[in-house]
Amino acid sequence: MLVKFVFILVLIAFTQSCKEKTSRSNSYYNDSESNYYYEDEEAYPDDTYCADVDYYNPDTGARSNYTLNVEVEDNEVTVIHFSRGWLDSSEFSSEALDEDGYCSIRLYDGRQFDIQITGSGCSFSDGYRIESDIEDEIAAVTCPRCGFSKYEYDTYCNDCENLLENTCSRCGGFEYYVYGGLCSSCKDDDNEGW
Ligand SMILES: [Zn+2]
Ligand SMILES: [Zn+2]
């Protein structure tokens, strides 16, 4: 009997709070509710979209255009998809789309992606192409001898260049401007042999 009574009380309390909510939203909370509806009708609901992407690397001057899939969340671009890889919040802070579906994203390393959404997710993208382009870009600024960074116009990094220029190719001794040839003491040895 007591259990039944408590149950009824709870039921009443529940009905009361429902009533309260309803009357509230009809008056005071009207504004925030209409805002909420507006958000619901945002131009780009959370999904994957096809985008026209202008890529620019200010370090190398590389500039290219790609069709890529991007993910939108809360009207912001949060992920740029390649074919195997992708860029996300670990590389950039997401940017809000304007009413035309455009935003410009700058990665923490300075590379820039101008993104224009063109429609719903595309089944064919330039994911492979941008991946191989970026690999080439990285290769262009990576020393093939030691793997550290180098200038694009140099074959090797300064350290390696210096080593090659000033190291005897036979004994490994240091001498300026041997350019991969022999140091003077190795040359002397050769001459003595004659
Ligand atoms: Zn090097
Ligand atoms: Zn030598």
pLDDT in tens, 56-89: 999 888 899 999 999 999 999 999 999 999 999 9
Average pLDDT over residues 127-153: 93
CA 149 – ligand 1 centroid, Å: 7
Would you say residue 108 has pLDDT above 80? yes
Closest CA to 121 of 66, 53, 47: 47
CA 159 – ligand 2 centroid, Å: 19
Neighbours of ion ligand 1 (CB under 5 A): 143, 145-146, 156-157, 160
Domain with residues 47-134, CATH architecture: Roll (2.30)
Question: Which residues are 65's β-sheet partners?
Answer: 54
Outline which parts of the chain fall under CATH 2.30.29. 47-134
Closest CA to 120 of 45, 64, 38, 65: 45
CA dihedral (81, 97, 107, 53) in degrees, to 10, reads: 50
Ligand nearest to the CA of 144: 1
CA 194 – ligand 2 centroid, Å: 17
Average pLDDT over residues 125-136: 95
